[in-house]
């Protein structure tokens, strides 16, 4: 039975509807980011606590979106709050606009945790981190193109907003995907200078890279596509070996996977080290943050030491400049780094990560057993503390495999689950936190059971 979404919204979230109408008068679409939109309107949240969210109509939800995975300690963890507030009180300001101690403390922490990281630079988002990583690799390698994988998202900017969710009719041959822009307003230049690769297909990836090795500075990849489709071990090892042979740099976008597959991210979990790593989300403890880290010989290109001011030098001087420009007033924000360090300290406690993974795996297993009992083809796909529910049989290895999933049924179930107090954006992945309790897991499985029965009436 098709779910009447309008009835759901009208019955449960009338205040959200009215606030969204008001927001539309001054904010395009009524949302500050397209990803926040839900048909027929978003649910407006008012409070968070632990594993829970509360909307403006006082509905309670067990939160599995967790700000797209950023809140690994849940909402309002006391240690994270205390770190942020304590830092501001101790410093007597919100920001210095100068170097400060926590920048070095956090950089040292990342160097100790991430196998590939020798030096660090901070940014204000994961998007900025991937953009800086690409700039650094292109400057270092001196070639004009980058390569990315079909279905991988690295931020909403022109260079990588290609073939993230391409129409299958325009996507081209699976073994040689087309570069398909994801937005209006992207210049043809980026379509022509972005090479799209097939994820988890090493033979086809190798063929493309061998043909274009002289043009490609770097590959940027999510080790786990979308946070839930893992690279095969042989694939990720093969890509690393191939890039080293061909003189192509390798960037791991670990914005989603950082601290969620292991304290040292996907690279620790896989035992494969990239040349540069982009981080975000969990790193900020709920505040905006990003970072890149990698080999000293590459990162040194960012150093301004001993160079002339790139902003005042003439064109001839800039042409000779051997430093890559990177700046940002809020980079390394002390409040953000204090919150991030407090979050990492929580994760470093004995068995915290193991318990989080155990909890995630139990929920996955119980959901799979439940759907199986109703003869609904379903599998949970993911790694670490992230997974997604895919209503399909057969292996899910890449973006094109998702076509066989029953997204219509999944969306109906997701709207029913919202009505039953389980929150994630429809069709989105599930992220767990240390705040999710055994009772939360039990309620989640029961809600899925009720949602299935409601939809099947």
Read off the pLDDT of residues 109-132 as tens digits, 9 standing for 90 and up. Answer: 999 999 999 999 999 999 999 999
pTM score, two decimals? Answer: 0.94
* CB-neighbour burial class of residue 380 (10 A; exposed 0-12, middle 13-18, buried 19+): buried
| Neighbouring C-beta atoms of residue 354, cutoff 10 Å | 9
Q: Ramachandran region of residue 309, left (φ > 0), alpha (ψ -120 to 50) or beta?
A: beta
Q: Active-site residues: which are they? A: 153, 253, 281
Across-strand partners of 218?
A: 146, 249
* Regions of the chain where pLDDT drops below 70: 1-10, 306-322
Residues written for the chain: 457
Taken in order of first residue, the domains within the chain and their CATH numbers are: 46-76+360-456 (3.90.1150.10), 78-348 (3.40.640.10)
Token readout for 387 is: 């997974």
| C-alpha span between 235 and 127 (Å, rounded) | 25
pLDDT recorded at residue 5? 52
pLDDT at 89: 97
């Amino acid at each position: 039975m098709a779910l009447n979404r309008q009835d759901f919204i009208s019955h449960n979230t009338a205040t959200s509807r009215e606030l969204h109408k008001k927001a539309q008068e001054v904010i395009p679409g009524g949302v500050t980011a397209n990803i926040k939109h839900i048909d027929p309107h978003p649910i407006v949240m008012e409070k968070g606590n632990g594993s829970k969210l509360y909307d403006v109509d006082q509905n309670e939800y067990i939160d599995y979106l967790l700000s797209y995975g950023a809140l690994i300690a849940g909402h309002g963890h006391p240690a994270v709050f205390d770190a942020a507030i304590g830092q501001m009180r101790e410093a007597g300001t919100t920001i210095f606009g100068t170097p400060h101690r926590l920048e070095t403390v956090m950089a040292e922490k990342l160097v100790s945790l991430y196998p590939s990281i020798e030096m660090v630079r901070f940014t204000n988002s994961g998007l900025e981190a991937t953009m800086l990583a690409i700039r650094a690799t292109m400057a270092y390698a001196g070639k004009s193109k980058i390569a990315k994988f079909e279905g991988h998202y690295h931020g909403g900017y022109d260079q990588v907003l290609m073939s993230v969710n391409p129409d299958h009719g325009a996507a081209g041959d699976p073994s040689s995907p087309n570069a398909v822009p994801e937005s209006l307003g992207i210049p043809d230049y980026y379509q022509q200078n972005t090479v799209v690769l097939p994820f988890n297909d090493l033979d086809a990836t190798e063929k493309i890279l061998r043909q274009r090795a002289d043009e490609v500075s770097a590959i940027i990849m999510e080790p786990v596509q979308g946070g839930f489709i893992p690279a095969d071990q042989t694939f990720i090892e093969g890509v690393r070996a191939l890039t080293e042979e061909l003189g192509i740099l390798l960037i791991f976008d670990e914005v989603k996977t950082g601290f969620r597959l292991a304290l040292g991210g996907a690279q620790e979990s896989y035992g494969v080290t990239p040349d540069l790593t982009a981080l975000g989300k969990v790193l900020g403890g709920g505040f905006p943050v990003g970072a890149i880290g990698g080999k000293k010989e590459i990162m040194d290109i960012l150093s301004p030491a001993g160079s002339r001011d790139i902003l005042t030098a003439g064109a001839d001087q800039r042409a000779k400049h051997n430093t890559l420009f990177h700046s940002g007033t809020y980079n390394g924000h002390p409040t953000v780094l204090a919150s991030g360090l407090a979050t990492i300290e929580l994760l470093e406690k004995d068995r915290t990560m193991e318990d989080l993974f155990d909890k995630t795996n139990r929920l996955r297993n119980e959901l799979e057993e439940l759907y199986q009992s109703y003869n609904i083809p379903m599998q949970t796909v993911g790694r670490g503390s992230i997974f997604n529910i895919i209503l399909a049989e057969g292996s899910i290895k890449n973006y094109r495999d998702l076509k066989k999933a029953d997204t219509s049924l999944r969306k109906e179930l997701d709207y029913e689950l919202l009505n039953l107090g389980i929150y994630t954006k429809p069709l989105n992945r599930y992220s767990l936190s240390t705040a999710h309790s055994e009772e939360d897991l039990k309620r989640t499985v029961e809600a899925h059971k009720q949602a299935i029965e409601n939809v099947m009436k």
